[in-house]
């Protein structure tokens, strides 16, 4: 019996059939380890979000993105005026959204960082009062919108206006386009 001789086309077809018929290799990627108090600063998920924030801030510092400001006037729902700063990337997508409000004795800043698909990935809330009380919340979000870590720090004697038992999640802006369109603009 003579051995079969395959031309280049037949050989390519045979190899393709073998690849298609071959069983899939088992998945070797294991799920990421849980985020804990001990590992959160070096956890890959947190590091990826920090990298995104660093890239956003670098583009802002390099003036490659457009910054716009707006004042939202007070109303019954918003007893104090709010300054809003929006930073848009080259495509017009909002990548950073900052809200600042305050009174004579306290101030609150809430910075939101978004990825290139417009998803909230990080929020930094800072508050301070004239009595030297400070509060900082760092909130990290997965691509699906779930909060994956929350770091809270505070100092000073405390100030009841700024110190809720938990961060007021209602203050987060997951859809900055909708938030900008809300009534209350001073313009």
Who's near 47: CB < 8 A, 6+ residues apart? none
CB 123 within 8 A of CB 172: yes
Tens-place pLDDT, residues 44-71: 999 999 999 999 999 999 999 999 988 8
Tens-place pLDDT, residues 71-103: 876 555 555 678 999 999 999 999 999 999 888
Residue 182 — pLDDT band, cuts 50, 70, 90? confident
Three-state DSSP class for residue 20: helix
In a domain, 6, yes or no: no
In a domain, 57, yes or no: yes
Find the length of the chain.
Answer: 187
Domain count, the chain: 1
In a domain, 27, yes or no: no
In a domain, 168, yes or no: yes
Nearest partner of 122 among 182, 55, 30, judged by Cα: 55
Distance CA 84, CA 62 (A): 21
Residue 73: domain span: 44-181
In a domain, 103, yes or no: yes
The structure's pTM equals 0.76
In a domain, 9, yes or no: no
pLDDT of 125 higher than 60: yes
In a domain, 136, yes or no: yes
């Amino acid at each position: 019996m003579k051995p079969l001789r395959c031309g280049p086309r037949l050989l390519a077809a045979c190899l393709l059939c073998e690849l298609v018929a071959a069983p899939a290799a088992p998945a070797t990627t294991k799920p990421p380890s849980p985020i804990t108090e001990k590992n959160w600063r070096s956890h890959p998920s947190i590091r990826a979000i920090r990298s995104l924030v660093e890239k956003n801030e670098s583009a802002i510092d390099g003036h490659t993105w457009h910054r716009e400001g707006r004042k939202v006037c007070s109303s019954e729902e918003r007893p104090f005026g709010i300054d809003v700063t929006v930073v848009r990337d080259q495509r017009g997508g909002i990548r950073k959204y900052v809200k600042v409000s305050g009174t004579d004795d306290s101030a609150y800043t809430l910075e939101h960082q978004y990825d290139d698909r417009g998803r909230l990935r990080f929020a930094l809330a800072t508050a301070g009062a004239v009595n030297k009380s400070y509060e900082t919340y760092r909130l990290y979000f997965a691509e699906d919108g779930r909060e994956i870590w929350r770091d809270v720090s505070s100092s000073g004697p405390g100030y009841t206006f700024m110190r809720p038992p938990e961060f007021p999640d209602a203050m987060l802006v997951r859809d900055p386009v909708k938030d900008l369109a809300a009534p209350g603009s001073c313009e």
